[in-house]
Copies of this chain bind each other. A is one copy, B any other.
Amino acid sequence: MSSTREILEAAKLAKREICCLEDGKINEALLAMAGALTDRMGEILAANARDVEAAKGIISEVMIDRLTLTEKRIEAMATGIREIAALPSPLGHTLRELTRPNGLNIKRVSVPFGVIAVIYESRPNVTSDAAALALKSGNVCVLRGGKEAYRSAYAIVSALRAGLNSVGITEDAVQLISDTTRESANELMRATGYVDLLIPRGGKGLIRACVENATVPCLETGTGICHIYVDKAADIDLALAIIENAKTSRPSVCNAAEVCLVHRDIAGEFLPKLYKRLVTDREENPVELRCDARVREIIGGVPLGENDFDTEFLDYILAVGVVNSLQDAVTHVLEHSTMHSEAIITRDVRAAEYFTKNTDSAAVYVNASTRFTDGGEFGLGCEMGISTQKMHARGPVGIEELTTYKYIISGNGQIR
Interface residues, chain A, with chain B CB atoms under 8 Å away: 16, 19-20, 98, 100, 104, 106, 113-114, 196-197, 211-212, 215, 217, 219, 235, 238, 241-242, 244-246, 249, 334, 352, 356-358, 360-369, 371-373, 377-379, 389-392, 394-395, 404-416
Chain B residue with the shortest CB-CB distance to A368 = B411
Nearest neighbor of A255 in chain B, beta-carbon distance: B416
Candidates B360, B367, B373, B404; contact of A412 at CB < 8 Å: B367
In the docked arrangement, what's the CA distance between A242 and B414, Å?
Answer: 7
> Do B377 and A416 touch across chains, with their CB atoms under 8 A apart?
yes
Q: If A364-B409, A392-B392 touch, does A371 touch B114 (CB 8 Å cutoff)?
A: no
Q: Is the CB of A113 within 8 A of B390?
A: yes
A140 to chain B, nearest CB (A): 13
Contacts of A16 in B (CB 8 A): 334, 358
Tell me the complex Cα distance, A357–B113, Å. 13
Which one of B196, B373, B415 contacts A390 once the chains associate, using CB atoms below 8 Å? B196
29 contacts between A and B (CB under 8 A): A100-B377, A104-B368, A104-B372, A104-B377, A106-B378, A197-B390, A217-B390, A238-B413, A241-B413, A245-B415, A246-B415, A361-B406, A363-B406, A364-B408, A364-B409, A365-B409, A366-B411, A367-B411, A367-B413, A368-B410, A368-B413, A368-B414, A368-B415, A369-B415, A371-B415, A372-B414, A377-B416, A378-B407, A394-B404
With A358-B20, A413-B242, A416-B371 known as contacts, the answer to whether A407 contacts B364 (CB < 8 A) is yes
A394 and B111 CA atoms in complex are apart in Å by 11
Kindly list chain B residues whose C-beta atoms are within 8 Å of the C-beta of A98: 379
Give CA–CA (A204, B411) in the complex, Å. 30
CA gap between A352 and B409 in the complex, in Å: 11
Q: Is B249 touching A415 in the complex (CB atoms < 8 A)? A: yes
Determine the chain B residues whose CB is within 8 A of the CB of A211 once the complex forms.
215
**Contact present for B406 and A362 (CB under 8 Å):** yes
- With both beta carbons as reference points, the residue of chain B lying nearest to A249 in the complex is identified as B416
State in angstroms the CA–CA spacing of A224 and B130 once bound together: 33
How far does the Cβ of A327 sit from chain B's closest Cβ, in whole Å? 10
- Chain B residue with Cβ nearest A109: B356
How many whole Å from A2's CB to the nearest CB in chain B?
A: 21
Q: Whole-angstrom distance from the CB of A355 to the nearest CB of chain B?
A: 10
- Say which residue of B372, B413, B415 sits within 8 Å of A416 (CB atoms): B372
Q: Which residue of B lies closest to A215 (CB)?
A: B212
Q: How far, in Å, is A179 (CB) from chain B's closest CB? A: 23
Closest to A92 in B: B357
Report the nearest B residue to A214, measured CB to CB.
B215
For A212, A244, A390, the residue with the greatest tally of chain B CB atoms inside 10 Å of its CB is A390
A208 CB to closest chain B CB (Å) equals 9
Q: Which 4 A-B pairs have the closest CB atoms?
A: A368-B411, A245-B415, A217-B391, A392-B392
What would 8 more interface pairs be, CB under 8 Å, given A114-B390, A365-B410, A368-B411?
A20-B357, A98-B379, A113-B390, A197-B391, A241-B413, A367-B410, A368-B414, A390-B404
User: What CA separation (Å) do A16 and B408 show in the bound complex?
Assistant: 38
- Chain B minimum-CB-distance residue to A389: B217
Residues in B neighbouring A416, C-beta threshold 8 A: 245, 249, 369, 371-372, 377
Provided the pairs A16-B334, A409-B366 are in contact, do residues A391 and B219 lie with their beta carbons within 8 angstroms? yes
The smallest beta-carbon distance between A163 and chain B, in angstroms, is 25
